[in-house]
Amino acid sequence: KQEVTQIPAALSVPEGENLVLNCSFTDSAIYNLQWFRQDPGKGLTSLLLIQSSQREQTSGRLNASLDKSSGRSTLYIAASQPGDSATYLCAYAGGTSYGKLTFGQGTILTVHP
Amino acid sequence: DTAVSQTPKYLVTQMGNDKSIKCEQNLGHDTMYWYKQDSKKFLKIMFSYNNKELIINETVPNRFSPKSPDKAHLNLHINSLELGDSAVYFCASSQGQSSYNEQFFGPGTRLTVL
């Protein structure tokens, strides 16, 4: 059974902190892993996509890494801001999934001023 | 704007009714998906279509029937709605059915069954 676990389930930090969100998955044959942001009552915004051949991707203050051998990905957010407050979801496409994404349950991030 | 769009954004209806949710993408993609996000915020795939052909059907009740009139549209029709169908339904698209391709999501349709 394909599973994705995200830790922590919730995180509250003061503005300016650097933080790490963790994602672990059971499928060793992943094709890619995506990190998404979901704001309350809104859709999913794709933040970063890491292909299976890559180790990390960066976009602005965000950096995502992928370690297939250990089945882990981390999302690093530098100098957090209140506007970063949202739910962060990781999802992977693996095996013969024909594009099917398997999602974790997300980390709810609150950045307070 | 290039995007994945869904209508309606909100849908409130009575048990037993039949309803449809529409999805359109103008990204030029040939693969579209429906995902369901339940009350615990857990997202699971329901269907995938590639060039109007069904690729993935993830143990979804027969009351759910996707329809793809062309590769830019994937609509979801639900018969005999039940309380447990209440959820947020997301449409997504990608270029190709390969698992290497990035998926882009619509804003979601919040369905409430009373």
The string of pLDDT tens digits covering residues B31-53 is 999 999 988 888 999 988 888 88
Distance CA A38, CA B92 (A): 14
Name the more confident of B59 and B74: B74
Q: How confident is the model at residue A62 (pLDDT cuts 50, 70, 90)?
A: very high
B94 to chain A, any CB pair closer than 8 A? The answer is yes
Q: Which of A52, A100, A107 to mutate to test the interface with B (most CBs of B within 10 A)?
A: A100
pLDDT over 90 percentage in chain B: 66
DSSP code of residue B14: -
> Mind telling me how many Å the CA of A36 is from chain B's nearest CA?
10
Q: CA nearest A37: which of A70, A85, A4?
A: A85
φ and ψ at residue B92, rounded to 5 degrees: -145, 165
Is there a contact between B109 and B8 (Cβ–Cβ < 8 Å)?
yes
Is there a contact between B74 and B66 (Cβ–Cβ < 8 Å)?
yes
Would you call B105 and A46 a contact, using CB atoms and an 8 Å cutoff? yes
* B8 preceded by a cis bond (ω within 30 of 0): yes
Phi-psi region of B80 (alpha: psi -120 to 50; beta: other; left: phi over 0): left
Average pLDDT of chain A to the nearest whole number: 91
Distance CA A21, CA A108 (A): 10
